[in-house]
Amino acid sequence: MATIDNLDLSIYNLYAIRTRMIEQINQQYQLDKASSIPPQTQVLTIYPKLTELDILLGVVPLNTPWAYFYPPQKFQYIRRSPFSFFRVAPSVGSLEEQENEAKLLESIECSSPEELKEKEAIKGCFKQMEQINRWLGYIVGRVGQFLQG
């Protein structure tokens, strides 16, 4: 039978390591100061909160509650469904920027066959991104019809 005086020393070492780790976490997150925060502290957000199901499905309620209103036109916050995307590569830029990049690509002249091959590859990439964006638009439209029906 194992008693506390017969235990291996590694158990004491592991206990000391775990205790030190807990103390470091308490210092890092300053948990000792958490009791000094008054219970009346509130964190205000400017975005309206919808039900979890609406957030998951991306549903915008048709009858808006009195406190829910749409932001101004210049405000660039767009709420999208987590299951779908507007574009396949939003980091490329807006649709206008992407169109300008395609026009700029057309105006560039190639001096070697390698440059011509690279230019064709980039044009093919732009065409494929447009095709995928059309597919995504179709899918999002069908999901919207499904949610309405």
Is residue 47 a contact partner of residue 78, using CB atoms and an 8 Å limit? no
Structural domain that includes position 136 = 52-148
Amino acid at 103: K
| Residues 18-66 pLDDT 10s | 999 999 988 888 888 877 777 776 666 666 566 666 767 776 666 555 5
What pLDDT was estimated at residue 145?
Answer: 78
Which single residue is written with the structure tokens 């975005």? 47
Cβ–Cβ < 8 Å for 129, 88: yes
Same domain, 56 and 31: no
Report how far apart, in Å, the C-alpha atoms of 140 and of each of 7, 95, 117, 127, 145 are. Answer: 63, 18, 34, 20, 9
Same domain, yes or no, for 96 and 29? no
- Main-chain phi, psi angles of 148, to 5 degrees: -75, -35
How many angstroms separate the Cα of 106 from the Cα of each of 16, 22, 112, 121, 123? 67, 61, 15, 12, 9
* 32 & 61 share domain: no
pLDDT at 19: 94
Residue 18's pLDDT is: 93
Q: Indicate whether 43 belongs to any domain.
A: no
Q: What are the pLDDT digits (tens) for 56-111?
A: 777 666 655 555 566 666 766 555 554 445 667 777 777 788 888 888 888 888 88
For residue 35, the model assigns a pLDDT of 78
- Structure confidence at residue 82 (pLDDT): 47
Same domain, 13 and 70: no
The answer to whether residues 60 and 23 belong to one domain is: no
Contacts of 89 (CB under 8 A, 6+ apart): 129
Q: Is residue 125, in this structure, part of any structural domain at all?
A: yes
Local structure of residue 113 (DSSP, 8 states):
H
> Would you say residue 116 has pLDDT above 80?
yes
Q: Is residue 46 part of a domain?
A: no
Q: Are residues 30 and 98 in the same domain?
A: no
Whether the per-residue pLDDT at 5 is higher than 70: the answer is yes
Residues 115 and 140 in one domain: yes
Mean pLDDT of 123-137: 86
User: Would you say residue 45 lies in a domain?
Assistant: no
Number of domains in the chain: 2
